[in-house]
Structure 1
Amino acid sequence: MNSTSGADASAFDPVDFLERAVPVASNDGVGEMRDLLVETLEDAGLDPDVDEAGNTVASKGADDPETHLVLNTHIDTVSPHVPFRRDGEVVRGRGSCDAKGPLSALLAAFLAVEPKADARLTLAVTPDEEVLSTGAYALDVDGDAYVVGEPTNLDVCTAAKGRFQGTLTLSGVASHAAEPDSGVNAVFALEAALAAIRSFDDGREAHPSLGAATLTPTTVTGGESTNQVPAECRLVLDRRSVPPETATAFRDGLESAVRDAVPDDVGVSFDLTDRPTPFLEAFATDEDHELVSALAAASRRAGGSGDVRPFTAATEASYFSPAPVVVFGPGVLADEEGAVAHADREYVRVEDVRRAATAVTEAVDELVGR
């Protein structure tokens, strides 16, 4: 997969690539969009590989490097597709900011920088970030540090909460509603369970940058007949975690807390939602790491804020932690008018795409360039 660019990388225009990428629908299959990416890399003299999981991977530099920097983002988008259009200095359409704008910036940096003799630079683009992260989970790239492209408004994001989901099941004994004491009412047990859920995080310290974890009941079902004591009640919970909590630790802790709270004759089980890939867990990178300082300084020079802050959505960056990882890119998840990413009004500013490309290129060159 090693290659040296045979074309002039300075000929690559990230905005031109963005304008070709946004019209390509990638909400219901990424094949056409991946073809465009592979073709672009091949035109630059590189030899990208598409693995069995659909990841597009290209590398430059040493086979056994002292430093391996990985640039990662995704090419899938959410449904439905929103057509491309350019309004002056704004590119609109599904994926313009999430995440084809960031992809354009990372691609510009990857093509522009030639690694020094003891370094390696990899571009790894995944196909399934918006659903199950099957690509990132299967990605066979061992980096020392990662830049993950997402819309951050050119801020450098060093942490994000994780997201777990599971179903709490309370089990009782069915009986005729006319003789309620002959059964065990699972819905009655929900009262004590909710009290345990409300107090689950009491006494836990908030994360210094991410704040407190949250635990939110979202849906509840129970009972099968209106004249029967319900034998079962199910409550779905949404958990936004902070380090160092893992999905397994959360599952075990929640089940134990509810078990202690409800009557002994009520059965308790808590099962994480079944999925073929791990949940996106929380991550946090040391804000003093050279990856953070280099990209923040480059963002400021390029016209961005260079602010260092948490990211407000879960990302595949968690799959690369505990290696140092930051999230960075042009565009915003939401603005003063409302949602931008995943919305019909999705857009990215041309100037911000160019600023992001400049910032990532300068930071990458500082970290691993000749």
Structure 2
Amino acid sequence: MTGDGFDPVSFLERAVPVASNEDVGAMRDLLVETLEANGADPTVDDAGNTVASKGASDPETHLVLNTHIDTVSPHIPYSREDGTIHGRGSCDAKGPLAALLAAFFSADPASDSRVTLAITPDEELLSTGAAALDVDGDLYIVGEPTGLDVCTAAKGRFEGTVTLGGVAAHAAEPDSGSNAIDALAPVLDALRSFDDDRPAHPELGPATLTPTMVDGGENSNQVPAECRLVVDRRSVPPETADGFRSSLLETLESVVPEGIDVGFELTERPTPFLEAFATDPDHDLVTTLADASQRVGGRGDVRPFTAATEASYFSPAPVVVFGPGVLADDEGAVAHADREYVHTDDVRTAAEALVQTVDHLVS
């Protein structure tokens, strides 16, 4: 239990049973109720973000604590045994939320500092909340299951479709047309070699480009006039979504055979893609949180995060990802899996590490 009486595990026991996979309304109500019961004055904006602040209105240092209340489907019921809470959202990301709440309630900002809790409603789908979030922070801590490690970087994720256009013809006379599917061969070769001359990121390693879905052709006895290939891009800084699109299209145009048209467009979405980010591992935000985590029982490790997060929306301001729970363990997937869980001791450890970090940064 933190010094102000808020118990993050008790909150988590209330939060995990609340389904927030299809509609976050009930979970947001619980969050607002909890904030108000602990003296905060939260607001909910038009995008569904829940925001509460304390401290100076024009601060020199503004620390933002962020995570999300939505979960993936299906909802998995709550259970608890032997110091472990099971259920959808237990580690992704209601456990991190509980720890962030403890830090926010304990915060006592100095006269020139401000702390804001900003909780988004749509991280697992389109990040509509984060894209609309009107919070201008200097430092950000994003709650996700990191095993109490401090994560300073993450790859971005882009998705798009390569379209190959040829000329239909009878399969008995294949040379009378232009086979769009046959043109996949040089395209796939180009995808495999796309990053050969690009340096790996010092923390995140190399970017990846993976073909994931393909379709084309209309009849089994016809030279296909069109073929579509979906690709998944895991980017590293400083690549942007627009930069990737332009670079890949230029590469593909240079390899497709004569008579084949090629195009590449990113998948349409109402919000920006989650791009890669990287924070200096020596920044005070990083070292403070890593030291605090180690002091209260974590490893204190600093490493990249293996999944894309809304932290990318807050970069290039210094941002780290931190929280109790893990994405996967020795048995397999944890977050987004039927066996999702978080250890209550880790929730308390994360809360104490965050309390100490917030105190150092803004008090």
Fold equivalence (TM over 0.5): yes
One-letter identity of the residue aligned with 2:119: V
Equivalent residues in 2 for 1:1-370 (5 A)? Answer: 10-369=4-363
Q: CA shift at 1:88, angstroms?
A: 2.0
Contact 1:50 1:57 in 2 (8 A): yes
One-letter identity of the residue aligned with 1:272: L
What is the DSSP-based 3-state SS (H/G/I as helix, E as strand, rest coil) of the residue aligned with 2:264? strand
Change (3 A) 1:356 1:48: same
Q: Distance in 2 between matches of 1:264 and 1:319?
A: 41
Q: Distance in 1 between matches of 2:44 and 2:37?
A: 16
Q: Distance in 2 between matches of 1:160 and 1:101?
A: 20
Q: Which ranges of 4 or more aligned residues in structure 1 deviate by more than 2 Å?
A: none
Q: Distance in 2 between matches of 1:227 and 1:149?
A: 54
Contact 1:98 1:151 in 2 (8 A): yes
Change (3 A) 1:301 1:314: same
Q: Distance in 2 between matches of 1:131 and 1:139?
A: 16
Q: Distance in 2 between matches of 1:264 and 1:56?
A: 55
Q: CA shift at 1:262, angstroms?
A: 1.0
Aligned equivalent of 1:5:
none
One-letter identity of the residue aligned with 1:60: K
Contact 1:247 1:281 in 2 (8 A): yes
For residues 211-259 of structure 1, what are the alpha-carbon distances to aligned partners after superposition, in whole Å with 9 as ceiling and x for unaligned? 0000001111111111111001111101000000001111111111111
Q: Distance in 2 between matches of 1:263 and 1:314?
A: 35
What is the DSSP-based 3-state SS (H/G/I as helix, E as strand, rest coil) of the residue aligned with 1:83? coil
For residues 336-360 of structure 1, what are the alpha-carbon distances to aligned partners after superposition, in whole Å with 9 as ceiling and x for unaligned? 0111101111110010000000000
Q: CA shift at 1:335, angstroms?
A: 0.4
Q: Distance in 1 between matches of 2:344 and 2:173?
A: 69
Q: Distance in 2 between matches of 1:134 and 1:208?
A: 31
For residues 175-230 of structure 1, what are the alpha-carbon distances to aligned partners after superposition, in whole Å with 9 as ceiling and x for unaligned? 11122111111111111111111110011100000000000011111111111110
Q: CA shift at 1:320, angstroms?
A: 0.3
What is the DSSP-based 3-state SS (H/G/I as helix, E as strand, rest coil) of the residue aligned with 2:94? helix
Q: Distance in 2 between matches of 1:137 and 1:67?
A: 22
Q: Distance in 2 between matches of 1:334 and 1:199?
A: 30
Q: Distance in 1 between matches of 2:297 and 2:101?
A: 19
Q: CA shift at 1:9, angstroms?
A: 6.3
Identify unmatched segments of 5+ residues in structure 1. Answer: 1-7
For residues 21-64 of structure 1, what are the alpha-carbon distances to aligned partners after superposition, in whole Å with 9 as ceiling and x for unaligned? 00101011000000000001111121100000000000000010
Q: Distance in 2 between matches of 1:217 and 1:156?
A: 31
Identify unmatched segments of 5+ residues in structure 2. Answer: none
Q: CA RMSD in A?
A: 0.9
Q: Distance in 2 between matches of 1:122 and 1:78?
A: 26
Q: Distance in 2 between matches of 1:242 and 1:191?
A: 26
One-letter identity of the residue aligned with 1:120: R
Q: CA shift at 1:264, angstroms?
A: 2.8
For residues 132-184 of structure 1, what are the alpha-carbon distances to aligned partners after superposition, in whole Å with 9 as ceiling and x for unaligned? 00000000000001000000000000000000010000100111112211111
What is the DSSP-based 3-state SS (H/G/I as helix, E as strand, rest coil) of the residue aligned with 2:14? helix
Q: Distance in 2 between matches of 1:316 and 1:264?
A: 42
Contact 1:9 1:44 in 2 (8 A): no
